[in-house]
C-alpha cells in the first residue's frame, strides 16, 4: 500500500465502480488523488523498482538453490511472492545475451586477420577453379566433373547449364536453390570462403535468442508427451517449468563466463575443467528440477530425463538446421 492521500470520493476514476476500500474491486486501481507532484512520481518509481528488485532476488535464490520449487509453487497457486516466470525469462535472457554477445565479440574464433601467406594460399586455391571456368567458358564448354559452386561465375551460367541437361541429371529443387545461393555468395564475397564463414557465423550466432525462444514451446511439448499420463499437469505447467529451467541455465552459463574471465586475468588455464563442471552442474540441475516438480521416483525421473535430453537434442538440431538455412539465405 502506498502512502499517498486517498480521495474522499468513493467512485473509481478508472472504471467508475463504487468503492468499498482503498482499491477498486473491479480493476484494482488505487483510489488516490490524480494530481501528483514530481516527488510523488519519483517515490512511486523508486517503490516499483525496489519492489521488483526484492522479488527478483528472492526468486533468484529459490531458482538457483531449490530446483523445481518455483514451478511447483506456481502450480499450487502461490505466486504473489515471486517474480512472474515470463518476466523472469525476459529479464534473465536479455541480460544473458547482452553479456554473451560482448564475450562473443572478444573471443569469436572467426574474427581474425589472415597472414599474407594464408591469404595468398586462399587466393590460389580459389583462383584455380575460377580460371578453369573462364578458360572453358571461352571455348563454349564447361567442366562439370566437380559439381561445385566455384565452377560457375554466375547464377545465370548455372541455370544455363542446368537447362541443357536431361531431366535425370538436373539438380533437384533443394540442391538447385543451395547451389544458386552458394554461387551468389561467392560473387558477393569475391570467392573468399573465410569471409563467407565469418559473416555466416556472425549472423547465425545473433539468432540464438530467437532459436531458444522457438525451442521453448517445443521443449514444453516434449515434457507434455513424457508426462502425458499425469493428467493434473496441463501444457502451460510444462511451459512454466521450461521457463524456470531456461532462466537457471542462463544464469549458470553467465556465471561461468564471468568466472572464466576472472581466471583469464590470472592466466589460470582452467577452461576445460571449469566447462566440464558447469555442464555437469546444469545436467544435475535439470534432473533435480524434474524430480521436485513432477514428483516421481528417482528411477522414472532419470529415464524420462534421458529421453528428454534426446528429444531436446533432436529439437535443437532441427532448429539449428532451419536457422542455419535462414542465415545462409539472408546474409
Q: For residues 56 and 89, what is the distance between their CA atoms, to the nearest angstrom? A: 11
Count CB atoms within 10 A of the CB of residue 59.
Answer: 21
> Mind listing the pLDDT tens digit for each residue in 267-276?
766 667 777 8
317 plus 284 within the same structural domain: yes
Which H or E run contains 176?
Answer: helix 173-188
Is the distance from CB of 30 to CB of 217 less than 8 angstroms? no
Residue where a domain terminates, one of 203, 233, 251: 203
Looking at per-residue pLDDT, the higher value among 39 and 116 belongs to 39
CA distance 54 to 246: 21
Place of cell 502512502: 3
**Residue 244 in contact with residue 289, Cβ under 8 Å?**
yes
- Same structural domain, 243 and 318: yes
213 and 317 together in one domain: yes
* DSSP alpha helix (H) spans, 227-297: 235-265, 271-294
Check whether residue 123 and residue 170 sit in a common domain.
yes
User: What residues make up the domain containing 16?
Assistant: 1-34
Instruction: Give the pLDDT score at 318.
Output: 94
The stretch 18-46 carries a mean pLDDT of 77
Q: Residue 236: left (phi > 0), alpha (psi -120 to 50), or beta?
A: alpha
C-alpha cell belonging to residue 258: 564471468
> What integer pLDDT is reported at residue 66 of this predicted model?
94
Same domain, 217 and 106: yes
Percent of the chain with pLDDT over 70: 78
pTM score, two decimals?
0.68
Torsion of CA 203, 204, 210, 213, to 10 degrees: -160
Number of domains in the chain: 3
Say if residue 244's pLDDT is above 90.
yes
Answer positive or negative: Cα dihedral of 10, 11, 14, 20. Answer: positive
pLDDT tens track for 99-144: 888 776 655 544 444 444 444 444 344 444 444 444 444 444 444 4
Considering the domain boundaries, does residue 88 fall inside one? Answer: yes
Amino acid at each position: 500500500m502506498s502512502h499517498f492521500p486517498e480521495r474522499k470520493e468513493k467512485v473509481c476514476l478508472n472504471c467508475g465502480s463504487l468503492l468499498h476500500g482503498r482499491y477498486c474491486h473491479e480493476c484494482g486501481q488505487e483510489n488516490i488523488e490524480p494530481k501528483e507532484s514530481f516527488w510523488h512520481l519519483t517515490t512511486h518509481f523508486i517503490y516499483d523498482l525496489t519492489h521488483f528488485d526484492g522479488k527478483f532476488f528472492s526468486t533468484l535464490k529459490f531458482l538457483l538453490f531449490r530446483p523445481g520449487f518455483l514451478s511447483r509453487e506456481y502450480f499450487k497457486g502461490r505466486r504473489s511472492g515471486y517474480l512472474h516466470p515470463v518476466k523472469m525469462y525476459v529479464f534473465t535472457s536479455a541480460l544473458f545475451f547482452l553479456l554473451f554477445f560482448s564475450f562473443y565479440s572478444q573471443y569469436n574464433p572467426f574474427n581474425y586477420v589472415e597472414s599474407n601467406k594464408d591469404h595468398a594460399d586462399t587466393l590460389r586455391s580459389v583462383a584455380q577453379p575460377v580460371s578453369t571456368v573462364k578458360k572453358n567458358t571461352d571455348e563454349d564448354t564447361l567442366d562439370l566433373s566437380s559439381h561445385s559452386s566455384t565452377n560457375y561465375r554466375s547464377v545465370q551460367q548455372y541455370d544455363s547449364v542446368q537447362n541443357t541437361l536431361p531431366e535425370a541429371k538436373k539438380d533437384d529443387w533443394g540442391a538447385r536453390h543451395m547451389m544458386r545461393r552458394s554461387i551468389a555468395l561467392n560473387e558477393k564475397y569475391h570467392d573468399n570462403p573465410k569471409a563467407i564463414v565469418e559473416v555466416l557465423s556472425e549472423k547465425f550466432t545473433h539468432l540464438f535468442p530467437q532459436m531458444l525462444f522457438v525451442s521453448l514451446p517445443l521443449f514444453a511439448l516434449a515434457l507434455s508427451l513424457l508426462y502425458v499420463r499425469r493428467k493434473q499437469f496441463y501444457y502451460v505447467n510444462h511451459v512454466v517449468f521450461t521457463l524456470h529451467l531456461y532462466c537457471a541455465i542462463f544464469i549458470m552459463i553467465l556465471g561461468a563466463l564471468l568466472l572464466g574471465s576472472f581466471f583469464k586475468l590470472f592466466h589460470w588455464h582452467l577452461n576445460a575443467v571449469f566447462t566440464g563442471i558447469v555442464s555437469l552442474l546444469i545436467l544435475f540441475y535439470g534432473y533435480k528440477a524434474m524430480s521436485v516438480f513432477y514428483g516421481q521416483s528417482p528411477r522414472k525421473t532419470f529415464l524420462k530425463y534421458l529421453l528428454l535430453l534426446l528429444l531436446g537434442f533432436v529439437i535443437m538440431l532441427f532448429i539449428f538446421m532451419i536457422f542455419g538455412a535462414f542465415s545462409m539465405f539472408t546474409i
